Each structure stands twice: as C-alpha cells, then as structure tokens.
C-alpha cells in the first residue's frame, strides 16, 4: 500500500495507526515496529510531529516504559460481550482470539476464571461454549466402524476386479486402513503386493524374448494409473500387450471375462492400443504375434 505524504497526515490519523499496530502486535510498538507495519507515515515523522517518540506514545494512551499492553477488566469484559453479541453465542477461545481487538483468550481466562475459559464465561454471565462431537473418523474413535462398506462389493473389487487396496479406498471414498480392517473382517486374504508377480510365465518369457529380438522397446509388468498392471507396455506408442492364460482367462468364466473387458475398455479410454494374445497363440507362433505389434510400432516411428 502506498503511504500518504507526511505533510498531509493529521495527528489523529497517526495516533489511530499506532493503536492499530499495538493491537496487532499485542505490545507497545517501537519505532522499528511502526515502520514495519504502518500504512500511514513513518516513525521519524511521528517523532518530529509530537516532539519525540515517548510523547507520541503518551498521546496515544500508552505507557512508554511498558513492554506489553495491559487492558483493564472493563475493556476485556466489553470486548467479550461484543464478540458474543456478534456471534450470537458464547465464543470459544479460538473465536475470541480471531475477532478480539483487545487482548487474548488466555488473558481473559486468567483475569476472570483462574485460567479456565468455562469459568471465565460463567463469571461474565454466559454459559460455557458448546462442545462439538469428535469427527467421524480419526483420533480416539478411528477404530469404530462408522463408514458403511459393503463386504460383498469389497470382495468383488479386490478378488475379481483386481484393484489394489489404495485404488478401492479411492473409489469408495474411505481410508486405506478402513479397507484393510474390512478385509480382515470379511476374511479376504491380502495379497503380498498388488504389483508383485510370483513368477514369470512361459508365454511371457517367449513374448519378451521375441520383442527384444525385433528391437521393440518395452517395459514389463507396468502399473497404469495405480489401477491395473499390464504384461507389456511399449512406451511412446502406448501399446499394451496382455498374455491371457488358457486356464486363468478361460472364455466360459463370465466374471473373468467381464474383468478383462473392463480393463481393456479403461486402457483404451486412456489412449492405449490393447492387444490380447492367448497363451496357445504365443506358444504356437510368437513371431506372428509380435509381427502385429511391430507393424503398429513402425507406423508410430514413421
């Protein structure tokens, strides 16, 4: 804020500005404090206009030798009543500190209630402020099952959809610890890690070797958006390759088919080109499978 020219500033404005800074700092301002916080004039101007800094403090009603402002009992009482009338209820300590222009809640509590806010409110003729209930989650009651999670839906998302606990928590709008506790309650066995594969299968081994021979850059077992893990990702071209085992991805299993379809649909919505090869196709002619990928890769490079 641009300060006004010193010659235009009346004495009353300078006194009001000094009082504002004193209320802000909760102490008698020094010349340095005035220069740091003043929006009107400078300390040297005030010193000249009042014939010295001490005279300026006295004119504003301050004791020059006092390090902090001492408010009278009446001033604190009137300020408490003003804030209570403004809010329409007994203020809490936080509310008093937020709106008070005279002193702090601790000062008022010591002056009227021997350090206790509720006692001070009672002495001043007001009931203690209302206590609000604790939050639904967190703190001392975080172990209470206050969030409704359907265990059947949880089992489906984890075991059929293959989502991680963090992905399920995000989907349902709850914490990961809540999901973990509900899984224990439902007897769902927690996988060692969502992204950890126990071993590399034979079709994957054949596919990786052929991709390397055809010099197609790829990444193995790559997580996508924290929701899915793909067998192969060709970066840049956004090509995804999935090796579907003849047993684990059998066509007559509707749940698995629905899961694979949903995964493919999601990846395609994110701009990925998805190729799915059966285990038998890769074992029979892996070069032919990779040749399809190579054609797309070459188009991307060109």
Give the pLDDT confidence of 217-229 residue by residue, as tens digits. Answer: 998 888 887 778 8
d(CA 294, CA 302): 12
Lowest-pLDDT choice from 28-32, 113-117, 200-204: 200-204
Residues 166 and 227 in one domain: no
Lowest-pLDDT choice from 3-7, 134-138, 144-148, 161-165: 3-7
More confident residue, 156 or 180: 180
Residues 257 and 223 in one domain: yes
- Kindly state whether residue 67 falls inside one of the protein's structural domains: no
Domain end, chosen from 141, 167, 193, is at: 193
Per-residue pLDDT at 103: 77
Residues 250 and 286 in one domain: yes
Per-residue pLDDT at 198: 45
Tally of domains in the chain: 4
- Kindly state whether residue 53 falls inside one of the protein's structural domains: yes
- Kindly state whether residue 216 falls inside one of the protein's structural domains: yes
Q: Find the mean pLDDT for residues 135-142.
A: 51
Residue 116 has pLDDT above 80, yes or no: yes
- Kindly state whether residue 30 falls inside one of the protein's structural domains: yes
DSSP 253-264: -HHHHHHHHHHH
Residues 178 and 207 in one domain: no
Contacts of 77 (CB under 8 A, 6+ apart): 112, 124
Question: What percent of the chain clears pLDDT 90, i.e. is strictly above it?
Answer: 19
Per-residue pLDDT at 6: 45
Question: Where residue 1 falls among pLDDT bands split at 50, 70, 90?
Answer: very low
Beta-bridge mates of residue 233: 219, 240
Domain range holding 106? 73-123
Per-residue pLDDT at 193: 47
In three-state secondary structure terms, 30 is coil
Per-residue pLDDT at 275: 94
pTM of the predicted model as reported, rounded to 2 decimal places: 0.37
């Amino acid at each position: 804020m641009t300060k006004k020219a010193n010659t235009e500033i009346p004495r009353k404005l300078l006194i009001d500005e000094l009082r504002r800074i004193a209320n802000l700092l909760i102490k008698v301002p020094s010349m340095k404090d005035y220069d740091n916080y003043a929006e009107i004039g400078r300390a040297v101007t005030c010193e000249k206009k009042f014939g010295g800094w001490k005279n300026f403090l006295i004119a504003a009603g301050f004791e020059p030798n006092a390090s902090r402002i001492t408010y009278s009992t009446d001033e604190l009482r009137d300020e408490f009543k003003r804030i209570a009338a403004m809010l329409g209820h007994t203020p809490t300590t936080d509310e008093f500190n937020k709106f008070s222009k005279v002193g702090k809640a601790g000062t008022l509590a010591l002056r009227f209630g021997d350090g206790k806010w509720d006692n001070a409110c009672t002495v001043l003729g007001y009931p203690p402020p209302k206590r609000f209930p604790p939050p639904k989650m967190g703190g001392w009651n975080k172990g209470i099952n206050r969030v409704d999670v359907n265990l059947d839906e949880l089992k489906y998302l984890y075991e059929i959809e293959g989502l991680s606990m963090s992905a399920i928590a995000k989907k349902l709008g709850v914490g990961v610890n809540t999901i973990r506790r509900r899984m224990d309650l439902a007897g769902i066995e927690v996988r060692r890690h969502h992204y950890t594969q126990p071993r590399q299968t034979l079709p994957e081994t054949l596919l990786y070797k052929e991709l390397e021979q055809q010099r197609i850059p790829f990444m193995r077992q790559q997580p996508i958006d924290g929701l899915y893990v793909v067998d192969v990702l060709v970066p840049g071209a956004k090509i995804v390759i999935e090796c579907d085992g003849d047993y684990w991805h059998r066509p007559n299993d509707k749940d698995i088919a629905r899961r694979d379809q949903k995964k493919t649909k999601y990846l395609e919505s994110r701009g990925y080109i998805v190729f799915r090869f059966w285990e038998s196709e890769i074992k029979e002619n892996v070069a032919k499978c990779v040749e399809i990928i190579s054609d797309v890769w070459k188009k991307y490079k060109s």
